Amino acid sequence: MAYNYDDLSWSEVRDLFRKWREDNERKSEDVVNLWEAFLEDKQQKLGNERHLVLEQVIIAGLDCGRIEVAEACIKSLSVEFPGSLRVQKYRAMRLEALGQYDDALDLLDAIIRKDETNAAPRKRRIAIMKARGKTGEAIKELCDYLKKFMSDQEAWHELCNLYLAEGEYAKAAFCMEEVLLHNPHSHLIHQRLGEIRYTMGGIENIEIAKSYYSQAIKLNSYNIRALYGLYLCCGHISNSKATLSKRKDAQKLGQWALSQITEKTRKKSKNEKCSKYIEALDQAFGNLDLKSN
């Protein structure tokens, strides 16, 4: 978003920075531009927020490739906190942004030796390995990390993504189940588990995927992706060698899912060809006709 600098005061920019921090929004380019235009020369007016703003600008500067801006803020923090491990982490991030991965890893290792309970440098190590394309090493490092920090949901989610990249779907499903333990009412996690199980294939996994998709729809009836997933699962089951009762139940459930997709898509979509797309989907899967096995 482009801001009209003539209409903003430094206090409004300060409040804007605070809002972005509270909402966990990066807004990196805006942060750097507004910092240089308004707050850099008035940072002493920020009071207790000054250090938080400096950290915010460091991250934004590294995001945008404005290394000189980040360096200036790191230097300001280093003068005030010369032995701070937190500042050392930002120095490692600067080296990482410059592509000096080995030096960054050495600095992160030094931080970990001083404080083994510090999770942040361990995560940066994993990020560096991922950036270097060493997915196997990143997975090993992340597994070691989770042995010490088992309740870190972001780490479990990241490990799931790494396993998916390697085609290790069973391990990815295990990781996502760990995330589900922390967020049992998240329809998106149920949907993701359904997608993983569906990708694994086999009638047993399709049945499990169907249950995950069903729960996702129960939690959020407007989850179109889960409805599509449920429809696909029912299509497989109704044309499988499952018992006749299971196939009939799957057929009914699949037809219900398709009706929900049709209804919700027509309400939201302005595309006049919407009905044709739904009919094509229906025909592509044979209208869920039962096969005699």
Give all domains of the chain, ordered by start, each with its CATH number.
Answer: 10-82 (no CATH), 90-168 (1.25.40.10), 185-265 (1.25.40)
What's the confidence (pLDDT) of residue 254?
A: 94
Neighbours of 222 (CB within 10 A): 12
What's the confidence (pLDDT) of residue 266?
A: 81
Neighbours of 180 (CB within 10 A): 19
What's the confidence (pLDDT) of residue 292?
A: 45
- What is the sign of the dihedral through the CA atoms of 208, 210, 213 and 214? negative
Segment-wise mean pLDDT, segments of 10 residues, the chain, 293 residues: 72 94 94 94 91 97 96 96 96 96 97 95 96 96 96 97 97 98 97 98 96 98 96 94 92 94 80 64 56 48
- Distance separating alpha carbons of residues 202 and 210, to the nearest angstrom: 12
What's the confidence (pLDDT) of residue 5?
A: 65
Q: 158, exposed or middle or buried, with CB in 10 Å at 0-12, 13-18, 19+?
A: buried
CA distances 186 to 190, 217, 221, 247, Å, are 7, 11, 12, 29
- Distance separating alpha carbons of residues 261 and 240, to the nearest angstrom: 23
47: left (phi > 0), else alpha (psi -120 to 50), else beta? left
